[in-house]
Amino acid sequence: MDRIKIVGGNRLNGTIPISGAKNAALPLMIASLLTDETLTLENVPRLRDVAQLTQILSNHGVDYSVDGKRPGQDSMTGQTLHLSAGTVVDTTAPYELVSKMRASFWVIGPLLARMHEARVSLPGGCAIGTRPVDFFIDGLKALGADMEIDQGYVVAKAPGGLRGNRVTFPKVSVGATHTVMMAATLAKGETVIENAAQEPEVADLAHCLVGMGAQIEGAGTDTIRIQGVERLHAYRHPVVADRIETGTYAMAVAMTGGDVVLQGARADLLQSALDTLSQTGVEITSVENGLRIFRNGDGIDPVDVRTDPFPGFPTDLQAQFMALMTRAQGTSRITETIFENRFMHVQELARLGAKIGLDGQVATIEGVDQLHGAQVMATDLRASVSLVIAGLAAEGETVVNRVYHLDRGFERLEDKLSRCGAQIERISG
CATH of the domain spanning 3-18+241-427, picked from 3.30.70.270, 3.30.479.30, 3.65.10.10, 3.40.640.10:
3.65.10.10
- Give the tens place of pLDDT for each residue, 237-265: 999 999 999 999 999 999 999 999 999 99
Residues 216 and 209 sit within 8 Å (Cβ to Cβ): yes
Q: How many CB atoms lie within 10 A of CB 146?
A: 12
Q: What was the pLDDT predicted at 383?
A: 81
The structure's pTM equals 0.94
- Confirm if 240 and 21 have CB atoms less than 8 A apart: yes
Across the chain, mean pLDDT equals: 93
Beta bridge partners of 163: 188
pLDDT the model gives residue 73: 60
Identify the band that residue 164 occupies on the pLDDT scale cut at 50, 70 and 90. very high
- Looking only at the bridges linking them, the beta strands covering 215-217 and 92-93 are unpaired
Categorize the per-residue pLDDT at 132 as very low, low, confident or very high, splitting at 50, 70 and 90. low
Collect all residues with Cβ–Cβ distance below 8 Å to 58 and sequence separation of at least 6: 64
d(CA 17, CA 78): 10
pLDDT of residue 34: 98
22-238: which CATH architecture? Alpha-beta prism (3.65)
Q: Which pLDDT does position 422 carry in this prediction? A: 98
Q: Is the pLDDT of residue 129 over 60?
A: no
**What CA–CA distance (Å, rounded) separates 282 from 324?**
12
Known binding-site positions for phosphoenolpyruvate? 22-23
Tell me the β-bridge partners of 168: 194
Of 126, 284, 317, 322, the catalytic one is 126
In the annotated binding site, the residues are: 22-23, 102, 171-174, 316, 338
Fold agreement between 3-18+241-427 and 22-238:
yes
Integer Cα distance of 202 and 209 in angstroms: 11
Q: Domain segments of the chain: what residues? A: 3-18+241-427, 22-238
Please indicate whether residue 126 is annotated as part of the active site: yes
CA gap 149, 324 in Å, rounded: 43
18: phi then psi, degrees, rounded to nearest 5: -90, 130
* Helix/strand/coil for 110: helix
Residue ranges with strand state E in 212-361: 215-217, 223-227, 235-238, 258-263, 283-287, 290-295, 305-306, 331-335, 355-359
Q: What is the per-residue pLDDT across 203-241, written as a single tens digit (0 to 9) for each?
A: 999 999 999 999 999 999 999 999 999 999 999 999 999
251-300, pLDDT tens digit by residue? 999 999 999 999 999 999 999 999 999 999 999 999 999 999 999 878 99
pLDDT, tens digit (0-9, with 9 covering 90-100), for 339-392: 777 788 999 999 999 999 999 999 999 999 999 999 999 888 778 899 999 999
Per-residue pLDDT reduced to its tens digit, 69-85: 665 566 667 899 999 99
Q: Evaluate whether 64 touches 83 at the Cβ level (below 8 Å).
A: yes
Chain segment 407-429, per-residue pLDDT in tens: 888 999 999 999 999 999 999 87
Spatial separation of the C-alpha atoms in residues 358 and 334, rounded to whole Å: 10
- Residue 365 near residue 356 (C-beta atoms within 8 A): yes
